[in-house]
Amino acid sequence: MKNFIQPDKAKLKTVPVSEFADFIKNDYQGAKTEYLAENIEKKIRDSYDKTIFKNNIMPSKHLMADLFDVSIGTMQNVYRILEDKGILYSKQGIGTLIADIDNPNIMIRKSSSKRDYTINLIKEFILKNKFEPQSILPSSRTIAKYINIPVNTTRSAMEYLTIEGILKKSDDKGKSWILLNTDFKEEYKKNTSLVNMISNDLKKYIKENLKIGDKMPTHSVLSKEFKVSIRTIHNSFEMLIKEGILLSKRGRYGTFVLKMPDKTGLQPQIESAIFAKSQITAKYHYERIKDMIKQIIIEKYSLHSKLPSILDMANLLDVSPNTIRKAYFTLSQEGYLTFERGRYGGTFVKEMPKQISDSAFEWVSISSNYVL
């Protein structure tokens, strides 16, 4: 069973490029990619848990290409080969990391790559053109032109098919390929984004754990649950909202299950009726926060006092920093606050607000038919 992890970039260490300097070869006889992949793998295995550890970040492809005097494209193919072998893994926004070699089922959540898509196009090419085992296939460049995929991506995909035992390189310096078998089924797999993957996982989570009207866990909780970023959870929520599965309410309300993922058609949406329309809700929430800040100023601050930072005020009122930023800005336009830059800058009380009246909220109501 696969166990997913979410690396913390701030805690990761990078392997010095000098760690790989002991097998530099100036005169490459044969394919550079295979030579480098083989020796880098050997170095990682020999130094594993000594000077190189799991989740260490590999040197950039640019630095490694300079070290070995090869192209960045060559190093990209080397890294992909080692990733296919479970020696390395990559994560967007972090880089290429040393895998947990002793525990191959521990991995990260990531989108299916363009190379995975290319692999299936190559299989389709083989089957459509009725190549038989031991046939010599065209060069990577020719196949790349046929399937309309960049040459480097096509070559990387064909390298992977050699690992799978479907292809092997011919003896003409790797310019053509020999088909070993066709024991694979024709597959049509499109690129699957990480957001799509998590959206599907969230649907399963909802079906197994929640019912209509239940509130979804916070983005932070789900981020830890599914080992992805909060941004990925947010984008997945957006997809499910568009599908009508979730209903998001502004402010502290949260996101609720509006429809079960395995159901089609319209369903009773009683739980949405206790809320005003989103525009009204947004206005009420925003005005409420602004007035709460006014009340805080009246009770705890004096003229020319410095207010808490946007982040501190957001934590105090349990709302987003954007809500506080908008409230501060509006209060400054109304003449209550002023902003100053510099080391001793911040947000200061320019004029004391008047006592807040509760009448501002009398227009907000909840239907008694839906009060539990």
- Which pair of structure tokens corresponds to residue 368? 């008694």
pLDDT tier at 275, thresholds 50, 70, 90 = very low
Is the Cβ–Cβ distance between 145 and 191 less than 8 Å? no
Nearest of 74, 97, 77 to residue 87 by alpha carbon: 97
pLDDT of 322 above 90: no
Over residues 2-37, the pLDDT tens digits come to 566 666 667 889 999 999 988 776 666 667 888 899
Distance CA 358, CA 36 (A): 72
- Which pair of structure tokens corresponds to residue 93? 């926004």
- Which pair of structure tokens corresponds to residue 44? 């990682």
DSSP 246: E
Contacts 24+ apart (CB under 8 A), 196-205: 196/239, 197/109, 197/111, 198/109, 198/226, 198/228, 198/232, 198/233, 198/236, 199/236, 199/239, 199/240, 201/226, 202/226, 202/236, 202/237, 202/240, 203/240, 203/245, 203/261, 203/262, 204/261
Residue in the structure block whose two tokens are 């295995």: 45
Mean pLDDT, rounded, of the chain = 79
Is the Cβ–Cβ distance between 152 and 73 less than 8 Å? yes
**Rounded to 5°, angle at Cα 247 from 243 and 251:** 140
- The confidence score (pLDDT) of residue 363 equals 41
Q: Using a cut of 0.75, tell me whether the model's pTM lies above it.
A: no
pLDDT of 269 above 60: no
The full set of domains in the chain, from first to last, is 3-108 (1.10.10.10), 114-179 (1.10.10.10), 194-272 (1.10.10.10), 278-361 (1.10.10.10)
3-class SS of residue 50: coil
Q: List C-alpha distances in Å: 50 to 19, 26, 101, 245.
A: 12, 28, 14, 50
**188 has which bridge partners?**
none
What DSSP element (H or E) covers 98? Answer: strand 95-98
